[in-house]
Structure 1
Amino acid sequence: MSVLNSKEVLQKRIAEIIEKIADYLGVNVPIPQEAVSLFDEYLGEGYTVPTAGMIEAVKLAARTEGILLDPTYTGKAMAGLIDLTRKGYFKKSDNVLFLHTGGLPGLYANMPLFLED
C-alpha cells in the first residue's frame, strides 16, 4: 500500500531494488512486475492528509485488536487491507501478512481525529 507515490513510481523503484539484490546475491531470477501487488488507491489527497478509511481503520484496530496504528503509514495501509478484504480480493486460503512499521507519535499528534463524539 503506497502512502506517498503512485504505482508507476513504485514499480520502477521496486524493480531496481530487486535487480540490485539479485546482483548482490549473484542470482539470475527474473521477477515479473505482475508478481508484485501495488495499491495507490488509499493515498487520499496527500501524504499526511487523513482519509475516512484511515480513521476507521485506526479506530477498528485499536478497538478490536488493541493495536495502535499511525495515521500516515500503517493507518492508510490497514485501510487498504480492510477495503480489499471487504471487496473479496483475498481468498480464504490466502495468508496475509501485515507489517506494522511504527510511527506511533503521529497518532498522538492527530488524536482529535480519533476521539469519539
Structure 2
Amino acid sequence: MEFHEADNLQKVFKIPEKRYWRCKIDALADGRFFDELLAFAQYRTSPVGYDPFITACMRNEAWEAAAKLVPKVKDPEEQAMWYSQLGMQREAEEAAKNAGSQSLSGGLLQTLTDALKGRR
C-alpha cells in the first residue's frame, strides 16, 4: 500500500502536523499495518509523543508493537504505567525505579543550583 499519497494530501490541504500524525497513527493501527506504524514512529521525533502510538496498538491488540514503543516514552513513570498495562511487571518495576532515581537526582541538582544562585 502506498502511504506517500497521504503525505502529499497533507501538504495540499494544509493539514496541521499534529492532526496529520494522529490521523495517520490511527489509520495505520486500525488497518493493522503495524510494521509501517513502527517505521513511522522511528521516522523522526513524534510531535504528538508516543502515547497515541501505544494507545492505537493496544486498541488493536498489537501487544508486541506497543511494547516496542514504550521505551520511546521519555517519562519513566509513564513507561512504568504502559508496561504495567501490557502485563510486563518486571519492566514496569524497572521503569518505576528509574523514575524514583531521576526524581532524587533532579532534587539534588535543584538543591545545588539553588545553593549556587544564593552564593552569587
What TM bracket, shorter-length normalisation? under 0.3
Q: Which has the larger radius of gyration?
A: 2
Superposition TM-score, scaled by structure 1 size: 0.23
Superposition TM-score, scaled by structure 2 size: 0.23
More helix by percentage: 2
> RCO (CA 8 Å, sep 6+): is it higher in 1 or 2?
1
